[in-house]
């Protein structure tokens, strides 16, 4: 039986900008490879010329703040605002190009 847990996606947000992007696993099952994370950015971006190349698909939703996601295959950058989501296929090289430096960007990410 899976453990029951509950919480609030906005609880525990840092009072000041964190030095690094924060990632908290909210739920996951190693057996089927599904993982749900809360990610908190505050002016963070993936370093230039570095790309995520993940073995799983990633569905992300911006709950607060905003972000620009860039791709290595020539497609246009996507500017995400609260309520916007994107499904990034496995091995689609991408990076976070920008998050605002004056507020938290809170993401909900589902890896599958």
* Domain limits, the chain: 22-111
Percent of the chain scored above 70 by pLDDT? 96
30 pLDDT more than 90? no
| Rounded average pLDDT over 62-84 | 97
CATH of domain 22-111: 2.60.120.10
| Rounded average pLDDT over 41-58 | 96
CA distances from 29 to 21, 36, 58, 81, 88 (A): 23, 9, 15, 29, 20
* Greater model confidence, 4 or 90: 90
pLDDT of 2 reads: 59
């Amino acid at each position: 039986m899976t453990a029951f847990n509950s919480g609030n996606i906005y609880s525990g947000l840092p009072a000041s900008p964190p030095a690094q992007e924060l990632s908290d696993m909210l739920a996951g099952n190693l057996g089927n490879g599904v993982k749900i994370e809360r990610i908190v950015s505050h002016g963070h971006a993936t370093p230039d010329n570095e790309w995520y190349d993940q073995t799983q698909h990633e569905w992300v939703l911006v709950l607060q703040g905003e972000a620009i996601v860039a791709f290595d295959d020539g497609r246009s950058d996507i500017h995400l605002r609260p309520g916007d989501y994107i499904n990034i296929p496995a091995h689609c090289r991408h990076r976070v190009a920008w998050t605002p430096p004056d507020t938290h960007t809170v993401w909900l990410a589902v890896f599958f």
